[in-house]
A and B are shown apart, each in its own frame.
Chain A
Amino acid sequence: MSADIAHELIREVEEEHPDAWTRARVRILLALGPLTSLAGIAWAVLQPWRLTLLHPHAQGLYWLLAEPPLYVVLVGILFRLVLAPGIVADLEEPG
Chain B
Amino acid sequence: MIVAGLEPRAEFVHWWFATGFLILGLLLLSEALVGPEIWGRRPWRRYLWPGFMFAMGVLMWPVSTFFTNSTIHMVAHGMWAQVLMLAGAAELGVARGKLHSQYWRLTSALGLAASGAALLLHEQNHWLFARAAFLHHTLGWTVLVAAVFPLAQALRPRSLTASLGFATTFVVIAVLLYCDRDVAPIFGHLSFYAGVPHR
A36-B22, A79-B26 as given contacts; A90 in contact with B15, CB under 8 Å: no
Q: Which residues in window 20-58 of B have CB below 8 A to A?
A: 22-23, 26-27, 29-30, 33-34, 37-39, 41-42, 45
Q: Is the interface of B mostly helix, strand, loop or mixed?
A: helix
B96 at interface (Cβ–Cβ under 8 A)?
Answer: no
Contact yes or no, B19 A83, CB < 8 A: no
Q: Which residues of A contact B18 (CB under 8 A)?
A: 68, 71
Q: Which residues of B contact A33 (CB under 8 A)?
A: 26
B9 at interface (Cβ–Cβ under 8 A)?
Answer: yes
Contact yes or no, B22 A72, CB < 8 A: yes
Docked complex Cα distance between A62 and B34 (Å): 38
Docked complex Cα distance between A72 and B22 (Å): 8
B188 at interface (Cβ–Cβ under 8 A)?
Answer: no
Docked complex Cα distance between A60 and B15 (Å): 17
Contact yes or no, B38 A62, CB < 8 A: no
Q: Can you give 25 A-B contacts (C-beta < 8 A)? A: A25-B34, A29-B30, A29-B34, A32-B26, A36-B26, A43-B178, A62-B12, A66-B12, A66-B15, A68-B15, A68-B18, A68-B178, A71-B15, A72-B19, A75-B19, A75-B22, A75-B23, A75-B26, A79-B26, A86-B42, A87-B30, A90-B34, A90-B38, A95-B37, A95-B38
A10 at interface (Cβ–Cβ under 8 A)?
Answer: no
Residues of B near any A CB (own CB < 8 A):
8-9, 11-12, 15-16, 18-19, 22-23, 26-27, 29-30, 33-34, 37-39, 41-42, 45, 178, 199
Contact yes or no, B199 A49, CB < 8 A: yes
8 additional A-B residue pairs with CB within 8 Å, beyond A66-B16, A87-B39: A29-B33, A33-B26, A49-B199, A65-B8, A65-B12, A66-B8, A71-B15, A90-B39
Q: Is the interface of A mostly helix, strand, loop or mixed?
A: helix
Docked complex Cα distance between A84 and B41 (Å): 14
Docked complex Cα distance between A86 and B22 (Å): 20
Write the A55-75 contact mask toward B (1 if CB under 8 angstroms, else 0). Answer: 000000010011010011001
Q: How far is the CB of A59 from chain B (nearest CB, A)?
A: 11
Q: Which residues of B contact A62 (CB under 8 A)?
A: 8-9, 12
**Closest 7 pairs (CB-CB, A-B):** A66-B12, A68-B15, A71-B19, A62-B8, A90-B41, A25-B33, A90-B38
